[in-house]
Amino acid sequence: MLTAIIAITLLALILGLVLGFASIRFKVEGDPIVDQIDKILPQTQCGQCSFAGCRPYAEAIAAGEVDINRCPPGGETTIQALADLLDVEPKPLDEECGVEKPKMLAVIDEDRCIGCTLCIQACPVDAILGAAKHMHTVIADECTGCELCVEPCPVDCIDMVETQPNPHTWRWPDPSHVDLQRRTGS
């Protein structure tokens, strides 16, 4: 009886030490699930989900505070990917947050720009270049199309335009859609 108790106690102590060592030695920095969710989000940093950027939204999803259907730029693909990751049912996009739109690009009408720097301060990814009282311009490759610069502009010189495919970014059409069109057309 006594030996059994001692043996179990010893075993428990040793295992406890091993676990304790492992938890310190292999400590995971941050919350990996937040990183995984953040990876799926489109990083537009637009705030349409009511959070100040993609990462805070990812943290809120990970904490189970909000639904996964609050990201209009990501649209259905993002919701599907999040549902797969978190093993929950996908839901349609929350209309409150906005609607899914094609990818947009901010374009500054350089003749009308007065150089107020307000859009520069609004841009979450530092994609606008310019200085006070000098013309500003958008770095097209860096623009995420979040539209946050449109509102602050006092002279309304920023337009959101749909990004056009070029031969390099062009994609072959989905053959099943082509079939469908042919069928409905004939």
Partner 1 sequence: MSAPLSDFPGGLKLPGHKKRSTQGPIRKTPLSKQLVLPLQQHIGAAAVPIVDVGEKVLKGQRIARAEGHVSVCLHAPSSGVITAIGDHAIPHPSGLSAPCITIETDGEDQWVERQQIADFRQHSAHELRQIIRDAGIVGLGGAGFPSFIKLNPGVHHTVETLLINGAECEPYITCDDMLMRERAEGILDGVEIMLFALRAARCILAIEDNKPEAIAAMRFALSARTHLTQTEIVVVPTRYPTGGEKQLIQVVTGKQVPTNKLPIDIGIVCHNPGTAYAVGRAILHGEPLISRVVTVTGTDVTHAGNFETLFGTPIKDLLEFCETRRQPDEPFIQGGPMMGYSLAGDDLPITKTANCILVGVDDVAPPAQPLPCIRCGDCADVCPASLLPQQLYWYSRAKDFDQTRDYNLFDCIECGCCDYVCPSKIPLVSYFRFAKTEIMNQERERHKSDLARERHESRLARLEREQQEKEERQRQRKAALAASKAAKAKEEESTKTSESADSVTEEKA
Q: Which residues bind partner 1 (CB under 8 A)?
A: 38, 41-45, 53-55, 124-127, 141-142, 144, 165-167, 169-176, 178-179, 182-183
> In angstroms, what is the minimal distance from the CB of 95 to partner 1?
24
* Helix%, strand%, coil% for the chain, nearest 5: 40, 10, 55
Please give the Cα distance from 56 to 91 (Å, whole number). Answer: 20
> In angstroms, what is the minimal distance from the CB of 4 to partner 1?
51
Q: Is 55 exposed, middle or buried (0-12, 13-18, 19+ CB in 10 A)?
A: middle
State CA 60 to chain mean position distance: 13
Amino acid letter, 28: V
Cβ distance to partner 1 smaller for residue 3 or 166: 166
> In angstroms, what is the minimal distance from the CB of 166 to partner 1?
6
Q: What are the φ and ψ backbone dihedral angles of 41, each rounded to 5 degrees?
A: -65, 150
Cβ distance to partner 1 smaller for residue 54 or 153: 54
Cβ distance to partner 1 smaller for residue 55 or 116: 55
> In angstroms, what is the minimal distance from the CB of 10 to partner 1?
48
Cβ distance to partner 1 smaller for residue 102 or 173: 173
